[in-house]
Structure 1
Amino acid sequence: MIDIRLANQRGRGQFSWLSSKHSFSFADYHDTERMVFSSLRVINDDTVAAAAGFDTHGHRDMEIISYVTMGEMAHKDSKGNIQALPAGEFQLMSAGRGIYHSEFNVSQDSPLQFLQIWIEPNELGGEASYQQKSFTQTGPITAIVTPSGEAGTLKVKQDAYLYRLSLAAQQQVSYDIKPLRKVYIHLIQGQLTIGGAKLTAGDGAAITHLSQLELQAQGDKEAIGLLFDLA
Structure 2
Amino acid sequence: MKTILHKANTRGHANHGWLNSYHTFSFANYYNPERVHFGALRVLNDDTIDGGTGFGTHPHDNMEIISIPLSGALEHKDSMGNTAVIESGEVQVMSAGTGIFHSEYNKNKDIPGKFLQIWVFPNKKNVTPRYDQISIRDLEKENDFFQILSPNPEEPGVWVHQQAWFSLGNFTADTKATYQLHSENSGLYVFVLKGKAEVAGNELSDRDGLGIWETTAVEFNVEKNTQLLLMEVPMNLN
TM over 0.5: yes
- Find the partner of 1:145 among 146, 149, 158: 149
CA distance in 1: counterparts of 2:220 and 2:106, whole angstroms: 34
Given residue 188 of structure 1, which amino acid in structure 2 is its aligned partner? L
- Find the partner of 2:191 among 175, 186, 198: 186
* 1:202 pairs with 2:207: yes
CA distance in 1: counterparts of 2:79 and 2:91, whole angstroms: 19
SS of the aligned residue for 2:155 comes to helix
SS of the aligned residue for 1:122 comes to coil
SS of the aligned residue for 2:30 comes to coil
Q: Number of paired residues?
A: 229
Given residue 110 of structure 1, which amino acid in structure 2 is its aligned partner? I
TM-score in terms of structure 2 length? 0.93
1:3 deviates by 1.5
1:230 corresponding residue in structure 2: 233
CA distance in 1: counterparts of 2:64 and 2:28, whole angstroms: 18
Given residue 64 of structure 2, which amino acid in structure 1 is its aligned partner? E
1:175 deviates by 1.3
1:153 deviates by 2.1
Given residue 227 of structure 2, which amino acid in structure 1 is its aligned partner? I
- Find the partner of 2:169 among 165, 168, 177: 165
Write the deviation string for residues 182-202 of structure 1: whole angstroms up to 9, x where unpaired.
110111111111132111111
Conserved 8 A contact 1:66-1:90: yes
* 1:66 pairs with 2:70: no
* 1:97 pairs with 2:98: yes
Identity in percent = 37
Runs of 4+ in 1 over 3 A off after TM superposition: none
1:105 deviates by 0.5
TM-score in terms of structure 1 length? 0.95
2:217 corresponding residue in structure 1: 212
CA distance in 2: counterparts of 1:179 and 1:50, whole angstroms: 44
- RMSD, matched Cα: 1.2
1:19 corresponding residue in structure 2: 20
Flag structure 2 segments of 5+ consecutive residues without an equivalent: none
1:151 deviates by 2.9
CA distance in 2: counterparts of 1:180 and 1:102, whole angstroms: 35
SS of the aligned residue for 1:8 comes to helix
2:52 corresponding residue in structure 1: 51
Q: 1:212 to 1:9 in 2, by over 3 A?
A: same
Flag structure 1 segments of 5+ consecutive residues without an equivalent: none
Conserved 8 A contact 1:168-1:217: no
CA distance in 1: counterparts of 2:67 and 2:204, whole angstroms: 22
* 1:117 pairs with 2:118: yes
